[in-house]
Amino acid sequence: MQGNKIVLDLEFTPIRDPDLQAVARSEILEIGAVKLNEQNAVLEEFQTYVKPQYSRVLPRVTVLTGITEETVATAPSYAEAMANFTDWIGSDCRSRFYTWSNSDQNVLLNEADLKEQSLHDMFYTHWVDLQRLHQRMYGFTRQMNLTNALGSMQIYFEGTEHGALADARNTAKILKRLSNLQDVRERIQQSHITYNDSQSHGFTMGLVFKKK
């Protein structure tokens, strides 16, 4: 495609108010993104925490992400964070968003609806779900989480899991690999991992590649 590729990852916390849940079920706590050019070279990175308006950081979210109430106490609001993010993306060329599953897209757009925020038109078009693309290209019967998908491709996870920027960086690795169809085919043929057969649901058979 022409234009930049924005690999995006969000961390978020649930909204408990049932009336608000009718519009949005979560609020963003952190935005992490990697910008790549048409040749998949990394151009820039973006990271910001976001202060929720209607919810608190639940203990289980802190355990998963490391984000606490103190982390986001002085962070920009959703409107400020999205304005900064939009400026970072730039509007001088077309950009396409790449995420691991479509949940990040839904969270981002639903929160905009809840808070009546006007977003740039680009946020409503050109999204690619790499989780689904990975499943289809490798022939798995089930979708994988990010860490297992990296393992299935024999790629090391670098950084801290469930940190938005670290997850975006590792998702960008998958985007680069999936962009080379011939390389994907050759690696599947040469791999010792069992992919999709009657005895496998498409998981990595316990193989997770992660640097210490």
Nearest Cα neighbor of 8 from 34, 37, 26 is 34
pLDDT at res. 1: 57
Nearest Cα neighbor of 62 from 211, 210, 159, 163 is 163
Helix axes 103-114, 78-89, angle to 10 degrees: 130
Q: Is the separation of the CB atoms in 51 and 26 below 8 Å?
A: no
pLDDT at res. 139: 86
**Inter-CA distances, 9 with 105, 117, 194, Å:** 9, 20, 29
pLDDT at res. 4: 93
pLDDT in tens, 12-70: 999 999 999 999 999 999 999 999 999 999 999 999 999 999 999 999 999 999 999 99
Tallying the residues shown for the chain, one arrives at 212
Which is it for strands 127-129 and 42-49: parallel, antiparallel or unpaired?
unpaired
Q: What is the pLDDT along the chain (212 residues), one digit of tens a residue?
A: 578 999 999 999 999 999 999 999 999 999 999 999 999 999 999 999 999 999 999 999 999 999 999 999 999 999 999 999 999 999 777 899 999 999 999 999 999 999 999 999 999 999 999 999 999 988 888 999 999 999 988 899 999 999 999 999 999 999 999 998 777 777 676 665 544 433 333 333 333 334 44
Place of tokens 């963003």: 28
pLDDT at res. 53: 97
Backbone angles phi, psi at 170, to 5 degrees: -75, -30
Nearest Cα neighbor of 29 from 14, 47, 51 is 51
